[in-house]
Amino acid sequence: MEHRKIRGNVIDIHVAIQGPSDGPIVLLLHGFPELWYSWRHQITGLAAQGYRAVAPDLRGYGDSDAPAEISSYTCFHIVGDLVAVISALTENKVFVVGHDWGALIAWYLCLFRPDKVKALVNLSVPFSFRPVDPSVKPVDGMRAYYGDDYYICRFQEDGDIEAEIAEIETERVMKRILTYRTPGPIIIPKDKSFWGCKDESIPLPSWLSEEDIAYYVSKFEEKGFSGGVNFYRNFNRNNELLGPWVGSKVQVPTKFVIGELDLVYYMPGVKEYIHGPMFKEHVPLLEEPVVMEGVAHFINQEKPQEILQIILDFISKF
């Protein structure tokens, strides 16, 4: 596996690359609070099948740069980084696989730069339109629906969640989040009860090892969580800036997969959207969405071989 830094959108983006240099590129985009490492199984699997797997640490994460200003984390900044990564590696279109924030960014990459994406496999987060009238801000909507302790609301105030996390071991934070299986919203009351007791160990599932956790811990201890949390702090700003794409469609062939226990599946309107006509209306080249039984949010780590196979089966068509 090769590790490289690519600069094209003003900052350095760290990428992990594996696979033949002439292989079709598959760009793998992680979510929160993850890293390129979340794709470790798919990277080796894709490379073995002749693809060139490219997994960046997104801006703010791991070994990529993390600008200090919150305003540097709009979806446009992140898509800009990925356009630079793609352009540095190839003139052709690439395959894209996204999960969580990576999936949301992938939708935007397809909207802004359909000239760069051959086909898309997106996990967990379906497409969502900017409403015609932007006067209801997304975070206000979430606050009204779930309350102030909803994790996205708790992430808004600069420095707030960082201070809370600083009082809890990074290892506990990572384990708590990566093992979250409740098919419902993450509510983080200010009493820190969400993180559990210091003496209560958090058992790891079969698909997550102590070494895996140690890798995440080392990177998040070095970088902190602000970079990743800053993505959430731009929900409202993104909404303001997405006016040009009202009514626009994602014109990229797409495969969508979500875990049946994924908290996203239980967010207001999501089930109806995924199974109703609007998803296909907005993404005309969408294949029938797949709901994976018994699987929670971190689907590419929980079911690595199944996800790898889904990716291979889909991209082999193009």
**Is residue 139 within a helix (H) or strand (E), and if so which, with residue range?**
helix 138-146
Residue 285 binds other proteins, judged by CB under 8 A: no
Which of 63, 65, 81, 100 is catalytic? The answer is 100
CA distance linking residue 12 with residue 56, whole number of Å: 11
**Cα 4 to the center of its chain, rounded Å:** 21
Closest CA to 253 of 47, 106, 77, 83: 106
Residue 129 binds other proteins, judged by CB under 8 A: no
Query: Which tokens hold the place of 11?
Result: 């900052």
Minimum gap (Å) between residue 198 Cβ and other proteins: 42
CA distance linking residue 123 with residue 287, whole number of Å: 13
Residue 134 binds other proteins, judged by CB under 8 A: yes
Counting Cα atoms < 13 Å in the Cβ hemisphere of 80 gives: 13
Among 222, 240, 260, 272, binds other proteins (CB under 8 A): 240
Asked about 266 being catalytic, the answer comes back as no
Asked about 215 being catalytic, the answer comes back as no
Residues whose CB falls within 8 Å of the CB of residue 275, separated by 6 or more in sequence, listed in order: 289
Asked about 77 being catalytic, the answer comes back as no
Among 64, 72, 234, 300, binds other proteins (CB under 8 A): 72
| Interactions with other proteins, residue window 83-102 (CB under 8 A) | 83-84, 87
From residue 161 to residue 200, what is the string marking binding to other proteins with x (rule CB under 8 A)?
A: ----------------------------------------
Residue 8 binds other proteins, judged by CB under 8 A: yes
Stretch that binds other proteins, among 243-251, 261-269, 279-287, 295-303 (CB under 8 A): 243-251
Q: Give me the sign of the Cα torsion angle 242, 245, 249, 253.
A: negative
User: Do residues 279 and 273 make contact, with C-beta atoms less than 8 angstroms apart?
Assistant: yes
Residue numbers annotated as active site: 100, 232, 297
For other proteins, the binding residues (CB under 8 A) are: 8-10, 72, 74, 76-77, 79-81, 83-84, 87, 108, 112-113, 115, 132-135, 240-248
